[in-house]
């Protein structure tokens, strides 16, 4: 128990500094934008959607079915919202629990001594676990590992009680249930059933390869055969159910996720896929270089036989085969028992029973029992279970290292990554056991005390180095900026691109732009990076450059709806209404098939339709606008905020004089977002129009209360007061509006109108002048400035503004009439006019 507690404590202590870490990398999509975590979403949706909140049967789904992990996120969200502290705490506690269980499992194999302690400490401190523990989405791997070990320990209990206790099938039921739970945390959890079979055959029954077939064929051990058959049946059932539930289709991934899978060269695919396990083993052995992402070109393809990395592949598989051979070959007379060398029939096992390999090889292949007579009844009771030999542990360690990793090898289906460090969380158990049992075997074989001490302290030093590396790596996971900077040397394209997003959120615009351009230097066809750079440029009013990058993004990924959306918005603001209309229409027709994030795509399509409706609205085509708005409502995803769309529906009905329909949609807008200011203003106007003046005033005042700094609210309220002939109050609202939004043309222009109607001509002149300076080429602004100057007796200035307005709009009748009246007054006063 001490070993378990100390190992768990180390696992806990090493990750305590991650409690202050923020959400990082994949956490955003799996947690912050995942609708399945929200209380208003029925919790049953978790069992129909993938890990990222996409319907599992959707063609673009990742097919990552991890409902128990998502359910744990939902519980976190219910308790602490989006505070990352509680999410990190759960991850750390789970890792501590897994470490304790692994140490208990190691004790079954290695006995109660310092080698078990070594194995537990090595697992607790291994740096490969940082992504799984420090990264919140890594909880899927840690949770799967917890039930993986529980299932394996239940099966070990089943083996030790099989044949003499009815409770053995209770333990087997526990094995099956925990294996199912492990799979529902993460897919690879189901592999525990295969590892359990390996334990039963090669560790508990100590069969060698040449003994397996005769044992099955001759029916020498029916309980073993029955257990293995049930494991196979249950594993097949789980996999079949899993395949059926995800729609009987494998997931599809982009080229950047797994470049080898997309390669046209069979040789490149084969060589790369054979090499990747070698690279993964190196990360376990020497985790010096770690990264949050290993996609794209992080591991270049092996395209020829001459690639020197093929030597690593050959060495890896030769070493693997040699280890397997040593574990499966017939044992020698010499053996060891928990680190104590046994020869000539003598042993020292620190109190543990130990039999030679020859003894148990020649004995019957079944657990040993002693007969005991109680009250005249003969019962079978288990003897003290002997510790397995080194060869047995090697085979089990290899199975624990290899079998859970098989789903990630692209052997049965392509996966969406090149290397994923968190996938190595379960296989690292096999690695830690293998290193420990190897060190123990060397310790036993050498005779000199100095060499024994050297081996022991070398193992301890390795654990210390692993712990130091883990502590350093945890620092990288403190925030996204540090994490992405640490990944630049491994995956520069992805790291620079993500770093650009972080820098942009920090308002470091020039640094963000530089980061995006660095990302595109390494991989020029990344649609997301082209789009992000375009968005940055658009937000900084560099519209021509933004359009260029949006078009490149669309060329790289024709289904990128958000690029169409922003392209259309820029074109609409530039007055290129026909181009904008075509862009919005094209976006609305893009299907969401095979898209990684269909929810985001649907949101962009809905926004495109919303803006297309606004375009029709501004052109006076209200019926067409309503048709488009209705289509937007049909295509709108759950997470889309509909208040603006509903409000524009009300506006269109208002313009068509369909007041009951308008009122319905204004109310829908306010129901979807009770503090939506535009809906308060538009609904207030409708109430005023229908004679409900006191109600209308309440909505205008509520809008001002919601945002006292928004000039538009004062402007609308001022217009209402003007219509009610409350001229002085209206004038005050107009001034307030213009002061708050002095750079907004519409607010300033309308404020000037209200002041003029209130006969406050001097104040009106000030704001007409400001409006004309905001839009110096807008004829209406110049004409109205001319008119107020005309009224205020500034005749020459009035003439200049009238003439400038006519240059821009020569056929404007009102301006021509005002100019003739002005000239008559000037001639009567003996002033020289431009016509003379």
Reply yes or no on whether the pLDDT at 340 is more than 50: no
Mean pLDDT of 13-34: 86
Reply yes or no on whether the pLDDT at 742 is more than 70: yes
415 vs 134 pLDDT, higher one: 134
pLDDT confidence of residue 371: 40
| Fold of the domain spanning 708-772 | 1.25.40
The β-bridge partners of 382 are 369
Reply yes or no on whether the pLDDT at 367 is more than 90: no
Judged by DSSP in three states, 336 sits in strand
pLDDT band at 285 (very low <50, low <70, confident <90, very high): very high
Tokens, residue 259: 């470049």
Reply yes or no on whether the pLDDT at 119 is more than 70: yes
pLDDT confidence of residue 218: 62
Nearest to 68 by CA among 148, 178, 184, 147: 184
758 vs 117 pLDDT, higher one: 117
Does 776-835 match 708-772 at the fold level?
Answer: yes
| Fold of the domain spanning 776-835 | 1.25.40
Positive or negative torsion for Cα 572, 574, 577, 581: negative
Positive or negative torsion for Cα 407, 408, 409, 413: positive
Tokens, residue 230: 């049930």
Task: Give the range among 611-625, 695-709, 723-737 with minimum mean pLDDT.
Answer: 723-737
Q: Which pLDDT tens digit goes with each residue over 439-460?
A: 999 999 998 999 999 999 999 9
pLDDT confidence of residue 676: 94
Q: Which pLDDT tens digit goes with each residue over 138-150?
A: 999 999 999 999 9
Reply yes or no on whether the pLDDT at 364 is more than 50: no
Q: Which pLDDT tens digit goes with each residue over 479-488?
A: 999 999 999 9
Q: Which pLDDT tens digit goes with each residue over 502-534?
A: 999 999 999 999 999 999 999 999 999 999 999
pLDDT confidence of residue 375: 37
pLDDT confidence of residue 450: 93
Nearest to 296 by CA among 252, 323, 338, 262: 262
Q: Mean pLDDT, the chain, as a whole number?
A: 88
Judged by DSSP in three states, 337 sits in strand
Distance CA 809, CA 421 (A): 67
Mean pLDDT of 615-628: 94
Tokens, residue 144: 């799967």
Please state whether beta strands 340-342 and 369-374 pair in parallel, antiparallel, or not at all (unpaired): unpaired
Reply yes or no on whether the pLDDT at 264 is more than 80: yes
pLDDT band at 379 (very low <50, low <70, confident <90, very high): very low
Judged by DSSP in three states, 60 sits in coil
Distance CA 39, CA 18 (A): 27
233 vs 254 pLDDT, higher one: 233
Element (H, E) at 379: strand 377-382
What's phi and psi for 597, nearest 5 deg?
A: -130, 80
Reply yes or no on whether the pLDDT at 378 is more than 50: no
Percent of the chain with pLDDT over 90: 62
Reply yes or no on whether the pLDDT at 406 is more than 60: yes
Reply yes or no on whether the pLDDT at 215 is more than 70: no
Q: Domain coordinates of the chain in residue numbers? A: 1-248, 708-772, 776-835
Distance CA 94, CA 98 (A): 6
Distance CA 539, CA 238 (A): 50
pLDDT confidence of residue 85: 93
Nearest to 538 by CA among 530, 547, 529: 547
Q: Which pLDDT tens digit goes with each residue over 176-209?
A: 999 999 999 999 999 999 999 999 999 998 887 7
pLDDT band at 108 (very low <50, low <70, confident <90, very high): very high
């Amino acid at each position: 128990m001490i070993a378990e507690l100390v190992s768990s404590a180390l696992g806990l202590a090493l990750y305590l500094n991650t409690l202050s870490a923020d959400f990082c990398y994949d956490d955003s999509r799996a947690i912050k934008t995942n609708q399945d975590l929200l209380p208003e979403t029925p919790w049953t949706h978790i069992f129909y959607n993938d890990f990222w909140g996409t319907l599992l049967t959707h063609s673009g789904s990742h097919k990552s079915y991890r409902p128990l992990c998502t359910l744990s996120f939902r519980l976190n969200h219910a308790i602490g919202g989006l505070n990352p502290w509680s999410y990190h705490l759960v991850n750390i506690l789970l890792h501590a629990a897994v470490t304790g269980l692994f140490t208990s499992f190691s004790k079954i194999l290695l006995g109660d001594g310092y080698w078990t302690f070594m194995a537990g400490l090595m697992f607790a401190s291994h740096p490969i676990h940082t992504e799984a523990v420090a990264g919140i989405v890594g909880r899927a791997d840690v949770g799967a590992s917890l039930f993986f070990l529980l299932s394996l320990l239940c099966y070990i209990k089943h083996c030790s009680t099989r044949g003499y206790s009815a409770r053995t099938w209770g333990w087997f039921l526990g094995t099956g249930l925990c294996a199912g739970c492990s799979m529902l945390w993460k897919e690879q959890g189901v592999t525990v059933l295969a590892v359990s079979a390996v334990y039963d055959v090669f560790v508990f029954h100590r069969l060698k390869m040449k003994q397996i077939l005769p044992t099955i064929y001759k029916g020498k051990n029916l309980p073993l055969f029955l257990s293995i058959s049930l494991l196979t049946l249950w594993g097949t059932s789980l996999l079949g159910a899993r395949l059926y539930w995800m729609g009987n289709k494998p997931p599809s991934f982009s080229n950047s996720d797994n470049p080898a899978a997309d390669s046209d060269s069979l040789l490149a695919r084969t060589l790369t896929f054979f090499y990747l396990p070698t690279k993964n083993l190196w990360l376990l052995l020497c985790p010096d270089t770690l990264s949050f992402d290993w996609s794209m070109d992080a591991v270049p393809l092996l395209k020829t036989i001459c690639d020197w990395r093929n030597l690593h592949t050959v060495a890896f598989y030769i070493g693997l085969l040699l280890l397997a051979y040593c574990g499966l070959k017939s044992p020698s007379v010499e053996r060891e028992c928990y680190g104590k060398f046994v020869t000539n029939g003598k042993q020292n096992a620190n109190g543990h029973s130990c039999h030679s390999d020859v003894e148990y090889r020649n004995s019957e292949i079944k657990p040993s029992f002693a007969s005991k007579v109680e009250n005249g009844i003969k019962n079978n009771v288990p003897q003290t279970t002997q510790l397995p030999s080194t060869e047995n542990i090697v085979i089990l360690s290899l199975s624990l290292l290899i079998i859970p990793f098989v789903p990630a090898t692209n052997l049965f289906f392509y996966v969406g990554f090149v290397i994923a460090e968190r996938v190595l969380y379960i296989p690292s158990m096999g690695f830690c056991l293998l290193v420990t049992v190897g060190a123990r075997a060397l310790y036993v074989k050498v005779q000199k005390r100095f060499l024994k001490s050297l081996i022991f302290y070398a193992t301890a030093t390795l654990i210390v180095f692993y712990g130091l590396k883990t502590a350093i790596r945890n620092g990288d996971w403190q925030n996204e900026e540090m994490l992405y900077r640490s990944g630049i040397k491994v995956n520069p394209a992805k790291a620079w691109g993500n770093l650009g997003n972080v820098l942009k959120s920090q308002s470091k615009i020039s640094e963000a732009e530089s980061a995006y351009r660095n990302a595109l230097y390494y991989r020029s066809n990344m649609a997301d990076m082209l789009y992000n750079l375009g968005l940055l440029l658009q937000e900084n009013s560099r519209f021509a450059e933004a359009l260029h990058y949006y078009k490149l993004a669309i060329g790289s990924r024709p289904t990128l709806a958000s690029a169409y959306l922003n392209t259309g918005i820029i074109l609409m603001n530039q007055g290129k209404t026909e181009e904008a209309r075509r862009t919005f229409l094209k976006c609305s027709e893009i299907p969401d098939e095979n898209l990684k994030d269909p929810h985001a795509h649907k949101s962009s399509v809905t926004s495109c339709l919303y803006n297309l409706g606004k375009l029709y609205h501004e052109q006076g085509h209200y019926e067409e606008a309503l048709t488009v708005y209705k289509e937007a409502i049909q295509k709108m995803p759950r997470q889309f905020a509909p208040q603006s769309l509903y409000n524009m529906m009300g506006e269109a009905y208002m313009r068509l004089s369909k007041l009951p329909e308008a009122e319905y949609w204004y109310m829908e807008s306010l129901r979807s977002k009770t503090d939506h200011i535009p809906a308060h203003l538009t609904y207030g106007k409708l109430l005023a129009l229908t004679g409900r003046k006191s109600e209308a005033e309440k909505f205008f005042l509520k809008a001002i209360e919601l945002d006292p700094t928004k000039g538009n609210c004062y402007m609308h309220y001022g217009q209402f007061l003007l219509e009610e002939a409350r001229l002085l109050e209206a004038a005050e609202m107009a001034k307030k509006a213009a002061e708050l939004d002095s750079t907004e043309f519409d607010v300033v222009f309308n404020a000037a109108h209200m002041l003029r109607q209130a006969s406050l001509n001097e104040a009106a002149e000030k704001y007409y002048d400001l409006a004309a300076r905001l839009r110096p080429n807008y004829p209406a602004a110049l004409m109205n400035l001319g008119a107020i100057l005309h009224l205020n007796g500034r005749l020459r200035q009035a003439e200049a503004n009238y003439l400038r307005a006519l240059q821009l709009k020569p056929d404007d009748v009102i301006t021509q009439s005002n100019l003739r009246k002005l000239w008559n007054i000037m001639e009567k006063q003996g002033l020289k006019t431009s016509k003379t």
